[in-house]
Amino acid sequence: MGSDNNLEGKVPEKGWAKVENGRVIVSDPEPGEMGPVIVPCEEIQVSVNGRIIWGPTPVSSRDSIVLTPKKVEPKVSIGVTVESDGMEAYVTVRAEDGAEWTVADVPASSYLNIRAEKHVIPAEVRPEDIQAVLSQKGIVFGIKADAVAKAAREKSGEPVLVAEGLEPKPGKDGHLEFLVPMERVLDLPADSLRVDFRDTVKIPMVKKGQVTAVKRKPVPGEPGKTVFGKDVPAPKPEDPKLRPGKGVILEEEGDFVKVVAILDGYPIYRASSGVYEVDEIYRVNGDVNLASGNIKFVGTVEVSGNVTDGMKVYAEGNVRIRGTVTGAEIRAWRNVEIGGNVFQSTVVAGRDTSDIKKWDDMIRTIESRLLALTELVPGAHIAAVPQEIQEDQRQKPIDAQEGQEAQIQETQKQKAQMGQMQGHEAAPQRAQAAQPATQGVAGQDLKADASRLGLLDRLRALIMALNALNKMDASKTPAVVREAIAKTREILADNRTELGQRLRRLASTLSVIRSWVEGELSGGQADVLLPYCQNCTIESARDIVITGQGAFYSTLTAGRSIKASGSTGVIRGGEARATDLIQVRVAGGQGATPTVLRVSEKGRIIADEVYPNTILIVGRFKARTENLQRSVKARIVNDRLVVNTMSGTVEVDSG
C-alpha cells in the first residue's frame, strides 16, 4: 500500500476516516462498498475494539478506536567515585533527553495513515540532585558548589571533581644543634707553611656554665579531614631524644631547650638514648701519638697506652697514664700518675699560683689592717677575718704614740686628705672643727685624745690597702670577685652609715674574695706519682712519690716533699729540691756524678744510704758526703746543720 491517505488523490464522499483533535472519525461506505482502512505508526499505538493493531486494518464507525501516543522519559544517572584516601570525590553525570509524541490531524482518507508529531523532553539535572546523591554517599565535607553546578549544567559524562578534603598540615621537626663539636676535629691552619700535625687534632671541651647544645622543640601539625568528614591526623614531627646525663642540666626557654654544662669536661651525646653528658675524664684508648695528636683538656685525662716522643698532654684536672712516657711533656693542674717508666720527659703537676699568691698577700694585708682598726671602733667586732690573722694581729700591738705635738700636726694634714677621699671638705687649719672621714668616731680635739690618732692612722692604712686592691688587675677573676672589689669602694664612700657597721660590711665583702683566693690556691696542691724516671724534669706543687726503682740523672722539684719509697728507692745524679722533706732509700751512687738533695731551712733529709759525692743542702747550710753513710738524717737545730748517721753526728756551722 502507498503512504498517501487518498490513493486516488480525492476524498470519497463515504467510506473514509480522518484524525481530528487526536480522535479517529470514520465515515461508513455505501452498502456493498469497501470501508476505510487505518494504518498505525510506530509512535502511536492504535487499539481497535481493545486490540492493538500492527498493520492496515479496516474500520467502521462502529469500532472503538483509541490512539495512544508513545512517550520516552529522559534518562539521568549520577555516579560518585571517591579516591582511596578519601580526599577527593568525583561526580559523573550522564543524561539522555526524553520524547513524547502527539497525534497529528490527518484529513479524511479511505486509507488513513496515522501520523505523530514528536516533542523532546529535555533531561534536567539540578545541583540539588547531585547534592542529594553526595549526601547519600556520606560526602559532607569540602563540597564545591560551583563544581556541582557545572556538573549539573554540562552533564558531560566525564568525572568532575566536586569535593576535596583538607590535607593535614605537617608540623616542624625538632632539631638538636650541637654548639660544641662532638668529635675530635682536624684543624689545619690555611696560612701556615709549616704544620705541626701533633697540634692539629682538637678535642671538644666545654666549661662550666657553657651552653653546649640547643634543641628546638618540634611544632605539631594541624589535622586534616576527608570528604566524609573524618579527621586525618597530621604526621608526627621528629623529636630528637634529649635527656640530661651527668654534668649537665636542661633549661627551657620558649621553644628551645638549652643544654648547660655544670662542670668542665668532654661532651658526649648518645643518640640511641638521647643522653647528653659532660665527662670530666677524657680517655685515650691507646697511645698518645701523631694519630691522636697532642692532648689538651679542661678535665682529667686517662691514657691506656704510652705517650710517645714529642707528644704533649695538658690537663686542668688529673693525668693518669698507664704506659710509659718517652720524650714527652706532661702537665696537669692536679695530680700526675704514671704507671710505666719515664724517659727524657718533662712532668709538671700543679697550677701556677704565683699570681694568686699576690692576691692572697693583698687580702691578708687588708684583713690585718681591718682587724687592727676594729679594735678601736666600738661595735665593730667582725668574724670574717681568718683566725690566724687575728692571732697574728694580737702579737703585733700598736706602739705607743711618741711626739704627740708633731704627730697631731701631721694627723691634721692626713685628716684633711681623708676627708677628700670620703667626700668631706677639710682644711688643715680647721682640722679640729671639721668632720673627719670616720664620721662619729674621730674626736673634735685631737690634742685631748691621743688614742684617736691611732684610729686615724689605722683607718688611713686600711684605705691605702683598699686603694691598692682596686688597682690590681682583676680582669681574669670571676664576676663575683670583681663585684666585691668594686663594692669595697662603695662601702668606704657611704658616709651616711656609722663606721662600725661599714667595717662589718667590708669584712663580709672581703670574705667573698678570700673564698676565691683559697679555692684557687688549693688548685695548686698536686702530686706526681711514678715508678722510675731517667734524664727527666719532674715538678710538683706538693709531693713527688717514686714507687719503683727511682730517679736517675733527673731534676726533681716539689713544693712539699720528695719520697723515693720503692724497693730500691734511688735518687742518683741530678738534683732533688723540696720544701719540707726528702726521704729516700739510697742517695747517690758509685760514679763521679754528684747528687744534690736540697730542702728549706725548716726541712729535713732522710736516707737509708748516702753514697759519697752526695751534697745535702738544708737552707743555707751544705754538707758533702765523702764516705758511704747509713741511716742519715739532716736538719737545722739551733742554727746549725745537724747530720745524724749510723757512724755519728756531724754539725755544720755555715753553708
CATH of the domain at 583: 2.160.20
Rounded to an integer, what distance in angstroms lies between the CA atom of residue 236 and that of residue 488?
58
Sign of CA dihedral 24, 27, 32, 36: negative
267 and 305 fall within a common domain: no
Least confident interval from 136-150, 304-318, 350-364, 597-611: 350-364
Quick check: helix, strand or coil at residue 59?
coil
Q: Strand 116-121: give its sheet, edge to edge.
A: 71-72, 98-103, 116-121
Looking at the domain assignment, is residue 312 inside a domain? yes
Is the same domain home to 285 and 339?
yes
Give 74-89 pLDDT, tens digit per residue: 999 999 999 999 999 9
- Based on the domain organization, do 369 and 411 belong to the same domain? yes
pLDDT above 80 for 2: no
Please identify, among 258, 279, 300, the residue that sits at the C-terminal boundary of a domain: 279
Measured distance CA(263)–CA(249) in Å, rounded: 10
For the chain, what is the domain count?
A: 4
Question: What is the per-residue pLDDT across 35-51, written as a single tens digit (0 to 9) for each?
Answer: 899 999 999 999 999 99
CA separation for the pair 514, 220 (Å, rounded): 52
pTM higher than 0.85: no
The domain boundary, picked from 289, 321, 351, lies at 351
Q: Which residues contact 285 (CB under 8 A, 6 or more apart)?
A: 304, 305
* Shared-domain flag, residues 334 and 360: no
Q: Are 106 and 114 in contact (CB under 8 A)?
A: yes
For residues 344 and 375, membership in a common domain is answered with no
Which residue is listed with cell 689592717? 369
Query: Could you read off the pLDDT of 280-337 as tens digits, one per residue?
Result: 898 999 999 988 889 988 889 999 999 999 999 999 889 999 999 999 999 999 999 9
Residue 92 has pLDDT above 90, yes or no: yes
pLDDT above 70 for 189 = no
Q: Helix, strand or coil for residue 469? A: helix
Supply the mean pLDDT for the chain: 83
One domain for residues 307 and 405: no
Residue range 593-616: average pLDDT? Answer: 93
Q: Which domain holds residue 378?
A: 356-519
| 475 domain residue, yes or no | yes
Do 316 and 180 share a structural domain?
no
User: Confidence band (pLDDT; 50, 70, 90) for 386?
Assistant: low
C-alpha distances in Å from residue 17, one per residue of 54, 594, 598: 18, 162, 159
**pLDDT at res. 405:** 39
Quickly state the pLDDT bin for 453 (edges 50, 70, 90): low
Looking at the domain assignment, is residue 317 inside a domain? yes
Burial 382-406 (b: 16+ CB within 10 A, else e): bebbbeebeeebeeeeeeeeeeeee
Q: Where are the beta strands (DSSP E) in 486-628?
A: 528-534, 537-540, 543-558, 561-564, 570-577, 581-587, 595-599, 604-610, 614-618, 621-624
- Across residues 15-33, what is the average pLDDT? 91
| pLDDT mean over 190-194 | 46
pLDDT at 524: 64
Same domain membership, residue 604 and residue 488: no
Does the residue 34 lie in any domain?
A: no
Boundary (domain end) residue, out of 240, 262, 279: 279
The verdict on 376 and 495 lying in the same domain is yes
Task: Report residue 381's pLDDT band, with 50, 70 and 90 as the boundaries.
Answer: low
* Whether 370 and 514 share a structural domain: yes
Q: How far is CA 281 from CA 296, 317, 328, 525, 578, in A?
A: 12, 9, 21, 19, 30
Residue 574 included in any domain: yes
pLDDT (tens digit per residue) in 111-154: 999 999 999 999 899 999 999 999 999 999 999 999 999 999 98
**Do both 440 and 313 map to the same domain?**
no
Same domain, residue pair 293 and 373:
no
> Average pLDDT of 343-359?
86
Query: Alpha-carbon dihedral of residues 257, 258, 262, 267, nearest 10 degrees?
Result: 110
